[in-house]
Amino acid sequence: MAEGKTVVLDTGPLIELCDKRGAARALAWLQEMRRFGVVAVVPASVATEFLQGAPDQTRAAWWLSQLDGLDLTFDGGRAAGALAHRAASSRRSASATDAQVVYQAVALDADILTSDPADIQSLVAVCGRRVAVHSLP
């Protein structure tokens, strides 16, 4: 990712960051992001999905407090829904959350960090814009 870039996080990276076993690595990641001026943002639907499955709510809330949240307007929801529909029409699966991640990335001219690049790429393929998709190492 380029210095000063915005990156939209999918749920998978948040789960990884919240895992106690990788706490040192996660904090190092956050420090590197800040050092390079990369802004990590989290769509509201990702925060919902993340908190729903997070075993440690306190740790999850702390991580969300370290990142910028993105709201979704009604028009944004419609655009993300249309994107998911186009992907489904192309025989590609698409969750509402993944569609919102791609929609937000397009709206912000941002990259995406995900743990399931195939799902995100299926949406990027039908969005009509170039979006860099990065997967967790």
What confidence category does residue 29 fall into, taking pLDDT thresholds of 50, 70 and 90?
A: confident
Give the span between the Cα atoms of 85 and 98, in whole angstroms: 12
pLDDT at residue 62, rounded to an integer: 92
Q: Residues, the chain, total?
A: 137
pLDDT at residue 1, rounded to an integer: 55
Q: What is the mean pLDDT of residues 63-88?
A: 94
Amino acid (one-letter) located at 59: R
Q: What is the mean pLDDT of residues 62-79?
A: 94
Q: Which two tokens stand for residue 99?
A: 């569609």
Which segments within the chain are labelled E, that is strand?
A: 6-9, 39-43, 68-70, 111-114, 133-135
Give me the domains of the chain, ranges plus CATH numbers. Answer: 6-135 (3.40.50.1010)
pLDDT at residue 18, rounded to an integer: 86
Percent of the chain residues topping a pLDDT of 90: 63
pLDDT at residue 2, rounded to an integer: 59
Give the span between the Cα atoms of 86 and 122, in whole angstroms: 10
pTM: 0.90
DSSP, res 129: S
CB 110 within 8 A of CB 40: no
DSSP, res 56: -
DSSP, res 128: S
The residue that leads in pLDDT, 26 or 78, is 78
Residue 14 CB burial class (10 angstroms; 0-12, 13-18, ≥19):
buried
Q: What is the mean pLDDT of the chain?
A: 90
Amino acid (one-letter) located at 69: G
